């Protein structure tokens, strides 16, 4: 498993964090007038239309084999349909801030999945320390809302944790899917298309969209942003990082998303940052550096960090 990332991979990771950091905001807007499954299906369906058009325009072809589409449906379920529904439903009961803290467990689950499958034989002390620092930093950024939220709806919190586990499994499986020779664009288009097919009967049965009132323009814009930016563009970046940096490094984006949300609020909405926000950002940064391993290597600590604490 790759331990370090180059500057291009870090740039893509930060860009993905900015996009996904804004997804909680768009979900909150959409939830004011649309039900959970409808939001998720519109999100993946809109992304599927755009990505399938790109496949045609660029002269690529979607696979026709049963083996390929079995993989597309599996990654679509793990990476889109299941976690999107769990997160959106969870946000109807708990705050987006608490949800982002719980989603930050994804890299921890990823390491456990890799360990359980025997893909990663040893877990370095530096990586474990980085994961602890990152999760702590996210909790500090959210502040007292975390403690308040932990007294809330337990089922919603468990749903978000299940979404984090699903993302972890998707990262590992997605790497395997890329090994079948499909391009990043084809895999991305395939997974959102499969997710749309999976969600369509659920929406028809539960939400009955023909009975819903036409949402306001703000809700339509929010859904469009979720589909085109937070899904179509984001997953192209997602699989690009996955192909070169690996699933564990990729899932560090869950640490950065809350940080990007705070930064965007400060830049575009004039929101001021409190002391705990700066402290949390420093902890997240320290966690990323520990997991990446560059600093340890510079100070000659790479050999110690490479010793597995879980064997």
What local confidence, expressed as pLDDT, does residue 7 receive? 83
Is residue 67's pLDDT more than 50? yes
Is residue 274's pLDDT more than 70? yes
Is residue 122's pLDDT more than 80? no
State which of 32-46, 118-132, 140-154 shows the largest mean pLDDT. 32-46
| Position with higher pLDDT, 138 vs 117 | 138
What local confidence, expressed as pLDDT, does residue 304 receive? 46
Neighbours of 146 (CB within 10 A): 17
pLDDT band at 128 (very low <50, low <70, confident <90, very high): confident
Domain locations in the chain? 7-310
Is residue 307's pLDDT more than 60? no
User: How confident is the model over 278-293, as pLDDT tens digits?
Assistant: 787 788 878 777 776 7
The per-residue pLDDT of the chain, averaged, comes to 80
Distance (Å, whole) CA 165 – CA 159: 10
State which of 131-135, 226-230, 280-284, 300-304 shows the largest mean pLDDT. 226-230
Is residue 310's pLDDT more than 80? no
Give me the sign of the Cα torsion angle 86, 90, 96, 101: negative
Query: What element of type H or E holds 10?
Result: helix 7-30
What local confidence, expressed as pLDDT, does residue 119 receive? 64
What local confidence, expressed as pLDDT, does residue 229 receive? 94
158 to 155, 163, 214, 288: CA distances (angstroms):
5, 9, 32, 26
User: How confident is the model over 76-108, as pLDDT tens digits?
Assistant: 999 999 999 999 999 888 777 677 777 877 877
| Position with higher pLDDT, 130 vs 306 | 130
What local confidence, expressed as pLDDT, does residue 145 receive? 59
Q: Which of 310, 285, 289, 284 is nearest to 301 (CA)?
A: 289
Rounded to an integer, the average pLDDT of 265-287 is 74
Distance (Å, whole) CA 227 – CA 19: 11
| Position with higher pLDDT, 24 vs 30 | 30
User: How confident is the model over 249-261, as pLDDT tens digits?
Assistant: 776 787 778 777 7
């Amino acid at each position: 498993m790759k331990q370090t990332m180059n500057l291009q991979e870090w740039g893509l990771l930060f860009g993905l964090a900015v996009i996904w950091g804004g997804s909680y905001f768009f979900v909150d807007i959409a939830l004011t007038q649309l039900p959970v499954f409808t939001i998720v299906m519109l999100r993946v369906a809109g992304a599927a239309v755009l990505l399938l058009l790109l496949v045609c325009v660029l002269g690529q072809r979607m696979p026709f084999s049963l083996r390929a589409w079995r993989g597309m449906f599996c990654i679509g379920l793990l990476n889109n349909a299941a976690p999107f529904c769990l997160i959106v439903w969870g946000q109807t009961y708990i705050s987006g801030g608490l949800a982002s803290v719980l989603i930050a467990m994804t890299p921890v689950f990823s390491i456990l999945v890799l360990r359980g499958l025997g893909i990663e034989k040893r877990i370095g002390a530096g990586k474990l320390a980085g994961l602890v620092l990152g999760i702590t930093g996210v909790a500090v950024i959210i502040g007292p809302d975390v403690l308040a939220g932990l007294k809330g709806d337990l089922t919603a919190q468990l749903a978000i944790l299940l979404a984090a586990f699903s993302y972890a499994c998707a990262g590992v499986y997605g790497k395997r899917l890329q090994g079948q020779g499909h391009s990043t664009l084809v895999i991305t288009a395939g997974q959102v298309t499969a997710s749309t097919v999976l969600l369509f009967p659920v929406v028809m049965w539960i939400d009955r969209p023909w009975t819903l009132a036409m949402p306001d323009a703000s809700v339509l814009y929010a859904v469009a942003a979720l589909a085109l930016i937070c899904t179509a563009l984001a997953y192209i970046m997602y699989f690009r990082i996955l192909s070169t940096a690996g699933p564990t490094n990729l899932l560090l984006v869950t640490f950065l998303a809350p940080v990007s949300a705070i930064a965007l609020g400060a830049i575009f909405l004039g929101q001021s940052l409190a002391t705990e926000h700066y402290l949390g950002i420093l902890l997240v940064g320290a966690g990323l550096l520990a997991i990446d391993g560059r600093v340890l290597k510079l100070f000659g600590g790479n050999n110690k960090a490479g010793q597995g604490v879980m064997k």
